[in-house]
Structures are given as structure tokens and as C-alpha cells.
A and B are shown apart, each in its own frame.
Chain A
Amino acid sequence: MTTYESKGNKDTRSGFGDGLTELGRTRKDVVALCADLIGSLKMDTFAKENPERFFQTGIAEANMIGMAAGLTIGGKIPFTGTFANFSTGRVYDQIRQSVAYSGKNVKIAASHAGLTLGEDGATHQILEDIGLMKMLPGMTVLCPADYTQTRQATIASAAWEGPVYLRFGRPAWPVFIPEDMPFEIGKAQLLSEGTDVTIIACGHMVWLALQACEMLEKEGISAEVINMHTIKPLDSAAILRSTAKTGCVVSAEEHNIWGGLGESIAALLAANKPVPQEFVAVNDSFGESGTPMQLLEKYGLSAERIASAARRVIERKA
């Protein structure tokens, strides 16, 4: 088992902000748009350093997505910034027609995804966004695990040809991905090797999967942990290689059980070599107000729940 130390807590949205700042300094073709949430998205520095390449669109997300599509016509690489809810459901048809169907090189940066947005409650806590975005042909869907990886994913998005949905969150969260761990879109990271069960997680849940792995290790269960930071295109080879070894899988995500990472894994397994799977996800429900940790606990998204799912799925192995 490989162990990872948290170097302290930092929000993944700051990883986006710092990545965007770096892009502003290194790539003149990167532009950014924000719908009245500059501070929340940590876009302040880019906006300050590149006023001519930054567009405050006001609270008008549909227009922001359309403008971004138009900016690509002139060869720009636009990043749009708002909360995940307003980045997806609110503007689905704009993304579908003007971005995805039109093959536009727009990067949709979506913050405050999932339950960990916290006290604002269900109106803002979207748990369906991964599903909405992965269903769009040609859309790449990223959900990096921590601050460091969100910064890397932001920079990698600019170099990736085609539309990208980049999902990250609000709360301060353990920073544990080593700076020198290579990040490649579409290539899963095998964080810890094991033989009894595969745990595949994305976003905030990756840290909790590593915690679960440690708990299981103490019980003599060897868990393999995979960070699936790219939900589409899915790294099928990494999943099938691991499940061939362990014979069962637990998926963990801060998303509805329908439409998310777990569902993509289940479809892959069903079409190739089925093994038992347990889903750690929100059980077809909206969220509510509360602190991020209270909400994760209440909706079953904890290290303990990942560990118990692992014990269950091992029992189900033939």
C-alpha cells in the first residue's frame, strides 16, 4: 500500500485560479469569461493581469457560453467560469448546440460542484452535472482530486483540443497529489496497488478512498485505489486491468448514483468482464444545507462508507 500525506488543506477552485493565472502568462490565446463570480472562481489574478482578455459577462450564463463559442472562431481558447449548476443545467442547450455539436474549443470551468458547496443548499449543489456533460458527444469530462491536480488539469485543458468540462469544488480539502505525479487527460492514476478490491474515485472522494484503503489494510484487506480524474474519455484499460486482478470494484463520487462515474464503470464492465460493483454516491436525491462534512456524512460519502462498500463487494465475489 502506498500512503499519501496531506500537505494541508486548500480548495480545488484555487487550483483552477492558479492554473488560469499561469495560462494567462504563458499562452496569449487563452481568454476567460466569468458570470459575476470572479472571487468564488479565483479568477481575480487572471482578470487583473489580462484585462483585455477577460470578459465579465454579468449574471447571464447563456450569453457567456455563446460568447465563448464565438471566441473560438477567432482562434481563442476561452475558459468560462461559474458554479457547476450554472455551468451545466442552466446552459445545457447552449453547450449542446453552440459548443459540443459545433465542436468548439471551449473549456467550461465549473466550481462549487456537489454537496460540499455546503450551506447554500440544494439549489446550488448540483449532483447531476457529470451525467449531463458526459452524455454530450465529444465532451471531455474532468474531475481532479485536489488543489495540485486541479491546477494541472486546468493547464492540460488548454492544450487539449475540443470542449472540456472541468469540475471542481468549494471547500478546503487535503492536498496530497505529489507535484511530480504526471497528469494526463484520459489516463487514470493508480495511487495504491492492492489485490482484494478496486476502489475507483474522482474529485474530493479520492482522498476519502485513500483513507478507506488504510482502514481496510488494518483489517488485512488489500485495496487498490485508482484516481479517475477523467470520466470521459474513460480509461477502460486501467479499470479492466485492475478488476481482472481484484475481481470486484467500488466506485466513489460526489454525484448522483445515476449518470456519474460509477455508471460509466458499470457499463464498461457489463460490456467486457462483469464483476460485482458497489456504488458510493448520492442515492437519487437532492442535497440540503449543512457543512460540507455533515453533508458528506449524511449522504453516505465518507471513508467509512467506502470501506463498508468494499467489505460488501468482496463478499459478493463468486
Chain B
Amino acid sequence: MNPYTISQEKLPELCRQVRRDILRMVHAVNSGHPGGSLGCAEFFTALYGTVMKHTPSAFTMDGMGEDIFILSNGHISPVWYSILARTGYFPVAELATFRKLNSRLQGHPATAEHLEGIRVASGSLGQGLSVALGAALAKKLNGDNRYVFTLHGDGELQEGQIWEAALAAPNFKADNLISTVDWNGRQIDGDTEKVMPLGDLKAKFEAFGWLVFVIEKGNDLAEVTAGLQRAVEAAGKGKPVMNLMRTEMGAGVDFMMGTHKWHGVAPNDEQLQNALSQLPETTFGDY
């Protein structure tokens, strides 16, 4: 059903283009969150390029008969905007308006400007899992057998509302809910282990009643794709599904990796050129 214009063979190249887009977008306005965005490039490429059943050219709010995606950690909007544009939700040229006045590409995702692909605002953390749970239950009420996907930051799991939703989803048997945590171990103030350790996440979600899988190489496109497909196969069996996906914040740009420093800081001109030189141009072309 997917009317993809992008062949599966070209997805690694698309993933590299998404990284270029992220860097150029945040550089252009000297603001935004490149670190987490870069770390999730493979996730978004796999989800929108292979795993989800969706129709980018005919976006509807209710997404009836389609898979839908809710981004809970809204600050990584650059990676989401890039994949939405690159898969055909809105013109690629619009990426140039990111965070600028009168843009539909707000700093954090919003619905007020009717940007195709976005169904709820996010940015204030911890709310997306609840919204996704409601959307998943609406799908069940509507007899719609498709899935609701979500992505969360690991630091975001410090919000209490996440655990309210984590408790509720298995109780409501939301087995059409497939969530993923971007488990990069870093947040604004430093390593998650130092700021507020999350402990044994797998055991925690399992204790709450989820089916939990670990994707060890979250920056390996083939492995992320396989991990998400495994989650889809595991869905529909009475339990919501959680992927704990280990990623590297800043992945793809050597000087942005191994630190939390690039969580919410844009590269300067020189740093941008250095970063882009590590991500050669693609046939998709820059926006």
C-alpha cells in the first residue's frame, strides 16, 4: 500500500540526507536540538521508510486505516521534519523555514499551523505516551487494526505522567501501541546516570506489563528496521510493546558524539562544514 517513491536500497542514503538536513536546519537559526535528532536518524528512516503503513500525500488527522506516529520528545523536531518532508508530507523546501517567524515548522512540533504529519503538539515532556494510548484505543473502537508508534527520550522517562500511561496501557490491553525509547543515556544537564538514574528499564516496563525488546544498535539502520518489525510482529497479543533502543547522541558527526553538550546547541559555520564533510552529499540533494 505504501506509495513510496524512495526505494529500500536508497534508505541508507536518505538517512545520511536527514542528518545533513538536521545540521543545516539548526545551523541556519543557531538554535534547536541536533544531538538527539542525529541519534534518531536511523529510527525515523526505518519507521517512515519501511515499517509504517502510511500515505504521506494524503495526510488525515484521524489516520484511519493507517499507522500513526506520536513524537513525545518534541525537541528532536528537526529529524522528524526532515523525514516527513523527504517522504512526501510537505515540500522539502519548507525545511528552510524551521524556527523562523510565520513557519509551520515550529521549534517544537505543533498542530496549529496544520503541518502535515503532526497530530498533537509536544515539547513539554512526558505527555506523548498518554496521547498515543488514547489514539490506540480510538483505533480499537473504530475497528481499525493499524498501529500507533511513539518515540520518547530516556531523560523524559523521569516525568511521572509516563509511568501513569505505562500503568494504564497494559490495563487497557493496548496491544496496537508500539513505543520506543531513545536510550542514549544523556540529557541536558549531563549523563542520565548522574542526573537521575533510570535503573533497569527493561525490568521496569516488564513489571508494568509491557512486552519489552532491546535494540542494541540503534544507529544501525538494518538492526533498527528489524527491531521495529519484530515489535510489529509482537503486537496484537494483548500487551503494548516497548523498544529500548540504544543510540549515540550526535551519531554521524564525530565531535558531537560521546557528550551531552550538543543536546541543544547549534554548530557554528566552521563546525557545520566539518560535520557536513563527514556526511557526503546525496542524490536527494540539500533543501
A interface residues with partner B (beta carbon < 8 Å): 31, 52-53, 55, 57-58, 60, 62-76, 78, 93-94, 96-98, 101-104
Contacts and interface: CB of A to CB of B under 8 A. Distances in A.
Interface string B175-193: 0000000000000000000
A74 B62 contact: yes
A242 B131 CA distance: 44
A194 to B, nearest CB: 43
A313 B37 CA distance: 61
B132 interface: yes
Given A70-B137, A71-B138, A75-B138, A97 B123 contact: yes
Contact of A74 (B122, B142, B165, B172): B142
Contacts, number: 120
Contacts of B111: 101-103
A78 B168 contact: no
A106 to B, nearest CB: 10
A52 B165 CA distance: 19
A98 B131 CA distance: 8
Chain A interface secondary structure, helix, strand, loop or mixed?
A: helix
A98 B111 CA distance: 10
B286 interface: no
Interface string B88-112: 0000000000000000000000111
B252 interface: no
B244 interface: no
B121 interface: yes
Contacts of B61: 73
B124 A74 contact: no
Contacts of B63: 73
A32 to B, nearest CB: 12
Contact of A73 (B129, B134, B160, B167): B134
Of B68, B126, B128, B134, most A-chain CB atoms within 10 Å: B134
B136 interface: yes
A63 B168 contact: yes
Contacts of A102: 110-112, 120-121
A74 B161 contact: no
Contacts of B112: 101-103
Contacts of A69: 120, 130-131, 134
A67 B62 contact: no
Nearest to A68: B134
A63 B159 CA distance: 11
A60 B168 contact: yes
Nearest to A53: B141
B139 A74 contact: yes
Contacts of B130: 62-67, 69-70, 94, 98
21 contacts: A53-B141, A57-B168, A63-B133, A63-B165, A66-B127, A66-B128, A67-B130, A67-B133, A67-B134, A70-B70, A70-B138, A73-B120, A74-B142, A75-B62, A76-B141, A93-B124, A96-B124, A102-B110, A102-B112, A102-B120, A103-B111
Contacts of A71: 134-135, 137-138
B164 interface: yes
Contacts of A62: 126-127, 130, 160-161, 164
B16 interface: no
B119 interface: yes
Contacts of A104: 120
Contacts of B161: 60, 62-63, 66, 94
B66 to A, nearest CB: 11
Nearest to B111: A102
A97 B167 contact: no
Contacts of A63: 130, 133, 161, 164-165, 167-168
